[in-house]
Amino acid sequence: GIHRAELSTLRAEEVKKKQTLEASRRKRGQLLAQVNQRVRDQSQEKDRLLRDEQRLVRLLKELRSPKVGTLRPSRDSTSQEAFPTLDGRFTDNKGRLPLPVQGTIAARYGAPRNTGDLRWRGIFLAAPEGRNVVSVFRGRVAYADWLRGFGLLMVLEHGDGYMTLYGHNQSLYKEAGDWVDAGQTIASIGSTGGPPEPGL
């Protein structure tokens, strides 16, 4: 009787160990599947970001084809009072240009993105939807339309080959060919084109 009871206990322990091992294997399998899925998702995200970047580079090449000289400000400007007056050429004001929207810098130029080894190619300013976006320097609207990955995008030419880009807007208030002054409202903050949060 004792021998039989011991065997029964041993069998029960073996079954329990087997079940625990099986559960552990299942959990490891699930974790591995999750990791693999994450790697696939990151790879797809990286590919998408690279395609978006290539699309933007192609657009900028097209926009740069007609050379623009020194641009003059428009006559019908509605500049914001608190916006600094910047004179001269765009290059003369390097390092002194104000931000185009009041917001939080959520990503800086050159900072690593959360996907693979890609880096931010601009700054991302987190701000509430609908807030005004202003031109950082006088110029002419070179592009005002949808671009996949950047949503409603505005590109301003400032002369001497310089441009500023404003993406993920909710609305665009200027059209290609329009002239704008520094501090003039050109768009409103949105989340078009899939940014990490509403912003510019």
Give pLDDT, residue 33. Answer: 64
Q: What is the pTM of this model?
A: 0.67
| Residues 171, 176, 180, 182, Cα dihedral to 10° | 70
β strands within the chain, DSSP E = 104-107, 124-126, 132-134, 139-147, 151-159, 162-172, 179-180, 185-189
Banded pLDDT at 36 (limits 50, 70, 90) = low
Q: Please measure the distance between the N-terminal and C-terminal CA atoms of the chain and give it in whole angstroms.
A: 79
In this predicted structure, the answer to whether residue 118 has a pLDDT above a threshold of 70 is yes
In this predicted structure, the answer to whether residue 76 has a pLDDT above a threshold of 60 is no
Average pLDDT over residues 53-80: 64
Looking at the chain, how many residues does it have?
200
| DSSP label of 98 | P
Average pLDDT over residues 24-29: 76
Tell me the per-residue pLDDT of 183-196, one tens digit each, with 9 for 90 and over. Answer: 999 999 999 988 88
Question: How far is it between the farthest Cα atoms of the chain?
Answer: 106
In this predicted structure, the answer to whether residue 70 has a pLDDT above a threshold of 60 is no
Question: Cβ contacts of residue 89 below 8 Å, gap of 6+?
Answer: 70, 159, 160
Q: Nearest CA to 136 among 106, 108, 162?
A: 162
Tell me the per-residue pLDDT of 137-164, one tens digit each, with 9 for 90 and over. Answer: 999 999 999 998 889 999 999 988 899 9
